[in-house]
Chain A
Amino acid sequence: MTSTSSSDRIEIDVEINGRRRAVVVNARDTLADHLRNDQKLTGTKLGCEQGVCGACTILMDGAAVRSCLTLAAQGDGRSIRTVEDLSEGSSLSPLQEAFKKHHALQCGFCTAGFLMSATELLESNPSPTRDEVVEALSGNFCRCTGYQTIVAAVLDASEQIGNANG
């Protein structure tokens, strides 16, 4: 949408998990608010709401971003992917399977954010080193696991995906 006037209600055209939607959002709503409240996609979590914890991480045109630090209005013309996009029905993606196998979650509050950060990494760099995994996940907090199992899960997933692709 382009206009020279400003408004507190904004029309946007956004693709969410493969479906294009024309919606009207509040100017003050973050993308996280819109996903959770309007789209009922509550897999994306909100922790700090100020960019520090990473729980709200989603993909915007393939790049991992904080949905608490992106306005819903800024989603106009963009393609959004959330954690709900990873699995097909009830069958988990290789990355999600690896999280399960390695006990990479306990309470699970941080998990959607980690999964989306790891998804960006594996899509741009299918065989990351351990250091690259740690760097890519450094913006996500987990208060339960101690991180080691999460790193192991992402490394394992990269191998599984590599094997599957021959």
Chain B
Amino acid sequence: MKLPAINYASPSSMEEACDLLSTDEDSKIIAGGQSLLPVMAMRLAQPSVLIDLAKIPGLDAIEESGNYMRLGPMATHTSILSSPVISKNLPLMSAAGKYIAHRQIRNRGTLGGSLAHGDAAGEWPLVLLALDGLVEVQSVRGKRTIEADDLFVGPYMTSLAADEIITDVWIPFRPRAWGYGEFARRAGDYGLANIAVVLPTEDTGTSGARITVGGSVGKIQRVTAAEDVLNGSEVSPELAKQAAEAGASELSYISDMHGSAEFRRGLVQELLRRTIVEAGERI
């Protein structure tokens, strides 16, 4: 369908964008438009004004800053996937990002848009949570940071207030072993299940595993029962199996035309096992 009638503005600074967003409660930020415009075409959203971040300088940065990678919200999926500093410092991000949609969508879609959209099967939310990242947000009321652990609260729901804009994304890059697993029926579709596993290495001790799951479970979340099994022990194929069982039985599953809850539970358990094994091999 054609888009509903809207107004459009393209401010040249973050302050102007915050002002515009706060004056009209039905206004919305547009970044790549790859989630928002389909939602509008389906009439699931009808914002009054779209506020485009494209003309605000400096929002597409991808750079090292101390022990963190700092990424601007307007960094596109394609620019992240083709960035040598990302593949060096955050190989999990490069591995997961390949599963996002198709080239034509990755050329426009952005990191900030993906995090704010908060799809329960989105690769960037899953990875941000596994890597213990955080976002900095700004509004007319000031700035604050939100840790990934507090950001994703439900399907398409984040803890961002309606007038807040993501201005920076910070991801620490200490040495960590990682694994990524995703199952989709067709390449490029949102995954029926996706899993990210981050394990500590010899230098960092044996505790601090972070395992995240998306897709079949309604919202991006950590699989703490599986983390608990792994923490303090050396990863073996047997331990991976135990952790996957513990993790899969802790979660609750959605059931729809794409798969029953039972099918999804089996899928998540096996993906968990494989992805923990994969990460274990990188320790």
Contacts and interface: CB of A to CB of B under 8 A. Distances in A.
Question: Is B truly associated with A?
Answer: yes
Contacts of B52: 71, 73-74
B11 A4 contact: yes
A49 B42 CA distance: 9
Contacts of A29: 3
B207 to A, nearest CB: 39
Interface in B239-255: none
A51 interface: yes
Interface in A1-41: 1-8, 10, 27-30, 33
A115 B12 CA distance: 35
B34 A51 contact: yes
B62 interface: no
A28 B10 contact: no
Contacts of A70: 33, 37, 108
Given A50-B41, A70-B33, A3 B10 contact: yes
A120 B102 CA distance: 13
A68 B12 CA distance: 25
B20 A4 contact: yes
B9 A7 contact: yes
B8 A10 contact: yes
A136 B103 contact: yes
Nearest to A33: B2
A28 B47 CA distance: 11
A82 interface: no
Contacts of B16: 4
Given A51-B105, A120-B103, A139-B102, A71 B42 contact: no
Nearest to A1: B10
B30 A49 contact: no
A94 interface: no
Contact of B107 (A7, A8, A10, A65): A65
A139 B108 contact: no
A76 interface: yes
Contacts of A81: none
B55 to A, nearest CB: 5
B161 interface: no
A57 interface: yes
Contacts of B37: 30, 50-51, 68-71
Contacts of A54: 102, 104
Given A4-B16, A71-B30, A138-B188, A28 B6 contact: yes
Interface residues of A, number: 37
A66 to B, nearest CB: 5
A111 interface: no
B104 A139 contact: yes
B38 A50 contact: yes
Given A4-B16, A4-B20, A73 B102 contact: no
A1 B108 CA distance: 20
A110 interface: no
Nearest to B7: A6
Contact of B8 (A27, A33, A51): A27
A85 to B, nearest CB: 17
Given A51-B105, A74-B33, A6 B8 contact: yes
A117 interface: yes
A157 interface: no
B85 interface: no
Contacts of B49: 6
A7 B8 contact: yes
Contacts of A86: none
Given A28-B5, A54-B102, A71-B37, 12 more contacts: A2-B55, A3-B11, A6-B9, A30-B3, A63-B107, A66-B104, A69-B37, A69-B38, A69-B108, A74-B33, A76-B10, A120-B103
- Shortest Cβ-Cβ A-B pairs, 10 listed: A139-B102, A6-B9, A27-B8, A6-B7, A50-B38, A63-B107, A2-B12, A6-B49, A28-B3, A64-B104
